[in-house]
Amino acid sequence: MFENFLFLSSALLTLAGALGVVFTKNLMHACVLLLATLFGVSGLYAVIGADFLAASQLVVYAGGVIILMLFAVMLTGGTADNDNKFGIEKVAAMGSVKTYIYAGLTVLVMSFTILKILANYMRTFEPGKLAPFESTVEEIGTLLVTDHVLAFEISSILLLGALVGAAAIARPRKG
C-alpha cells in the first residue's frame, strides 16, 4: 500500500515538475520546479529499492546542482530589456513550426516503438515473487573507499575544479 502511494506521488511530482520546467518563463521558478522533479525521481528510486541512488540523487543533484544553478542565476542577474547591443529584440530560440512537427513525429514513433516492445513483453509475462529488499549502501560505500578510491578522489578534484572555475567566472571584473 505504501509503495503504491510512494510510486504514484513520486511519479506525479516528477511529471508535474518536469512540465512546469518546460512551460515556465521565470528562470528561478524553473530551478525550483527542477528541484521538485529531482525529488520525485529520488522517490522513484526508493520505490524500486535503489536506496543508494535515491540518497545520492538528493545529495548530489537536489542538494548540489540546483543550489549551484540558483547561485549562477542570482549572480549573473540579467537585464530587463529585450534588446541586444545591436538593437535587435532577443527571442528565445525554442524552435519553429517545422521543429515542432519533427519533434511530434519523433515522439509518436518512439511511443509506438515502446508500446510494441511492451506488448510483446506483456504477452509472455508471468508474475513471480520478488526477492526480499536488501540495502546496497554499505556495500557501495565499502567499494568506494577500498577498490574504487582513486576514481572517488579524482571525481572530488574534478568537482573542486568546477567550483573554482565557476567562482572565477562569476567574479566581477575590475575596470
User: What CATH number did the domain enclosing 28 receive?
Assistant: 1.20.120.1200
Is residue 2 in some structural domain? yes
Residue 155 CA to residue 9 CA, distance in Å, equals 33
- pTM summary value: 0.55
Amino acid at the residue 108 = L
- Secondary structure class of 83 (helix, strand, coil): strand
Q: How many other C-beta atoms are found inside a 10 Å radius of the C-beta of residue 74?
A: 13
Average pLDDT value over all residues in the chain: 80
Distance, C-alpha 91 to centroid of its chain: 26
Task: Tell me the C-alpha to C-alpha distance, in Å, between residue 104 and each of 4, 99, 101, 107, 111.
Answer: 31, 8, 5, 5, 10
Judge whether 38 and 14 are in contact, CB under 8 Å: no
Is residue 106 in some structural domain? no
Is residue 114 in some structural domain? no
Q: What pLDDT, in 10s, does the model give residues 99-113?
A: 778 778 888 888 888
Q: What percent of the chain has pLDDT over 90?
A: 9
Is residue 38 in some structural domain? yes
- Secondary structure class of 149 (helix, strand, coil): helix
Is residue 50 in some structural domain? yes
Domain count, the chain: 1
pLDDT at 16: 92
Is residue 97 in some structural domain? no
Domain that holds residue 50: 1-77
Amino acid at the residue 158 = L
In this prediction, residue 82 has a pLDDT band, given cuts at 50, 70 and 90, of: low
Is residue 59 in some structural domain? yes
Is residue 22 in some structural domain? yes
In this prediction, residue 83 has a pLDDT band, given cuts at 50, 70 and 90, of: low
Closest listed residue to residue 40, CA positions, set 67, 64, 19, 71: 19
